[in-house]
Amino acid sequence: MLTRRDLIAAAALAAPLPVLAAARPVVTILGDSITAGFGLPASAAFPARLQAELARLGKTATIRAAGVSGDTTAGGLARVDFSVQRDTRLCIVALGGNDLLQGLKPSATRANLEAIVRRLKARKIKVLLAGLAAPPAIGGGYAREFNAVFPAVAKAQGVAFYPNLLAGVAGLTRLNQRDGIHPNAQGAALIAQRLAPVVARALG
């Protein structure tokens, strides 16, 4: 004869198991002061704005900022293995601005970026390379060589590419802080708005 305890146990076994919510994909931004949100509260900085823009597009993701102010591509290469954690699905590589400011050889910038991308790919992490454009004030030969680095790396390594992280923001007083280099809250929001659809596609 079945007891009340037997009936409860049978009902529990027959009930469908709850569906576990899928983990939110992690997007890590390996970058410099722009990624670190220099001069801005975290809620107004580029990474937080990017997460909000992705959510607005219906793409739920966790944006993890791995930016170090002043970092060059060499600095990013030195720390990529520990700054980009193992649960990262997509890494946005947003480095090179300080290479430009310091006048480093574009050939060195390219070598560093390629090494970063190769390490990420070896770990089965998707990569989105964000490029930069040298301002007109930079010498023509250097600017052309620097600007060519990013599309060349993306093509050689077969990764997603966003041509200019600061497009529509660089050089505009109303979208930058007083130093004329770092985006203000409005500039960070615009960067995120423009980049979000590309990130969503890269996530798949």
Residue 96's region, left for phi above 0, alpha for psi from -120 to 50, else beta, is left
Q: Which helix (H) or strand (E) holds 77?
A: helix 73-83
**Catalytic residue list contains 182:** yes
Which of 69, 63, 67, 111 lies closest to 88, judged by CA?
Answer: 63
Distance between CA 158 and CA 161 in Å, rounded? 9
Annotated catalytic residue within 6, 32, 33, 81: 33
Q: How far apart are CA 129 and CA 42, in angstroms?
A: 23
183 neighbors 46 (Cβ within 8 angstroms): yes
Q: Is 107 a catalytic residue?
A: no
CA geometry: angle at 27 spanning 95 and 65, to 5°? 55
From 32, 83, 99, 182, active-site residue: 182
Residues annotated catalytic, as ranges? 33, 179, 182
